Amino acid sequence: MNEKITTFLNSDLLDKYLMGTTTVAETEHVETYISKYTEVQNAYNTLQNNLEIVAKSNAIEAPKHILNNVLNEFNDAPVIALSKRARYKKWYKLSVAASVAAITFAASTYLFYNQNQKLSQENQVVVDEIFDLRSDIEMNNKKLDAVMEQFKRLNDPETYKYIMKGNERARNLKTVAYINPKEKTSMIDVVSLPQLPEEKCYQIWADLQGRMVSLGILSETDRQLKRIPFTENARGLNITIEPKGGNTIASLENTVAEISLQ
């Protein structure tokens, strides 16, 4: 079905034509389309049949005594009997009007239904966006709580700050360790780490009475406060260069930074 036919069928010209309210030009236009396009002719026939069905279903037979009462009122005045054709035309127009009203109601109902469906979908999108927003707010609140907790720990009078600077092996290395013996917490802030070959990494150790205990691997991506295991009674901290992935035994000959905690 081409666009021209679709536009015509979506207009109200067929309805107006059936009701006899079209202008001369509109009547000619409609009849041309009915005779020229099968789709229009089928739509016209369907609409006409539907209108007749509606008219018949809504038809009410007038009581027989009505005519006698009317005749008595006119004192036997001449009455012009309506021809069968005239009566049919009158009822046909009424049936057309009733059918058009029914079709208009159905079209309006369908339109409202579609609008309601669209509104429901839009409401669901808004609900989903609100849910995502609440999730983002909750996540941001958790991050804020974590930052506040870190800030609280850093400003605790029992928290000690230790600055670790690199030796000649890594002159630009700088990290800051925060240790709170009372709360038994340890954090480290990686300020800068010189770049290493891909097969090497930096590893931090705690000196526990001569035994080196690994506290994890340091990376340039850790440029923020990072928790490290708290080691009670540790005498110092060491940073060494180890094979990629870390080592189980500290290579003290490759030490690049160290501090005493006592």
Residue 23 predicted with pLDDT over 70: yes
Assess whether 31 and 114 both reside in one domain.
yes
164's enclosing H/E stretch is strand 160-165
CA nearest 180: which of 172, 188, 190?
A: 188
The confidence score (pLDDT) of residue 222 equals: 65
For residue 123, name the pLDDT band (cuts at 50, 70, 90).
confident
Residue 39 predicted with pLDDT over 60: yes
CA nearest 162: which of 222, 200, 206?
A: 206
Assess whether 119 and 7 both reside in one domain.
yes
For residue 254, name the pLDDT band (cuts at 50, 70, 90).
very high
- Name the residue with higher pLDDT: 199 or 44: 199
Last residue of a domain, one of 64, 98, 123: 123
Does residue 134 fall inside a structural domain? no
Q: Which two tokens stand for residue 192?
A: 């800068």
Does residue 24 fall inside a structural domain? yes
Q: Work out the average pLDDT over 235-240.
A: 94
Per-residue CA distances from 142 to 26, 132, 134, 153 (Å): 70, 15, 12, 16
Does residue 88 fall inside a structural domain? yes
Q: Work out the average pLDDT over 130-141.
A: 78
Residue 37 predicted with pLDDT over 70: yes
Torsion angle of C-alpha atoms 223, 224, 228, 234, degrees rounded to 10: 80
The confidence score (pLDDT) of residue 93 equals: 54
Please tell me the total count of domains within the chain.
Answer: 2
Does residue 16 fall inside a structural domain? yes
Q: Work out the average pLDDT over 119-145.
A: 76
Assess whether 254 and 172 both reside in one domain.
yes
* Most confident of the ranges 47-56, 62-71, 187-196: 187-196
The confidence score (pLDDT) of residue 206 equals: 94
Give the CATH number of the domain where residue 164 resides. Answer: 2.60.40
The confidence score (pLDDT) of residue 136 equals: 80
CA 163 – CA 239 distance, rounded (Å): 12
Domain of residue 8: give its range. 3-123
Evaluate whether 239 touches 218 at the Cβ level (below 8 Å). yes
Assess whether 78 and 169 both reside in one domain.
no
Does residue 147 fall inside a structural domain? no
Does residue 154 fall inside a structural domain? no
pLDDT tens-place string over residues 175-196: 999 999 888 988 888 888 999 9
CA 136 – CA 127 distance, rounded (Å): 14
Instruction: Provide the 3-class DSSP secondary structure of residue 152.
Output: helix
The confidence score (pLDDT) of residue 84 equals: 42
Assess whether 27 and 103 both reside in one domain.
yes
CA nearest 51: which of 102, 101, 96, 107?
A: 96
CA atoms within 13 A on the CB side of 114: 5
Assess whether 168 and 117 both reside in one domain.
no
Assess whether 11 and 117 both reside in one domain.
yes
Last residue of a domain, one of 123, 145, 179: 123
Assess whether 183 and 105 both reside in one domain.
no
Does residue 193 fall inside a structural domain? yes
Assess whether 109 and 164 both reside in one domain.
no
Exposure string of 252-261, with b = 16+ CB inside 10 Å and e = fewer, is eebbbbbeeb
Does residue 190 fall inside a structural domain? yes
Q: How high does pLDDT run on average in the chain?
A: 78
Last residue of a domain, one of 123, 152, 177: 123
Assess whether 188 and 251 both reside in one domain.
yes
pLDDT tens-place string over residues 157-176: 888 899 999 999 898 999 99
Assess whether 114 and 220 both reside in one domain.
no
The confidence score (pLDDT) of residue 253 equals: 94
Assess whether 8 and 119 both reside in one domain.
yes
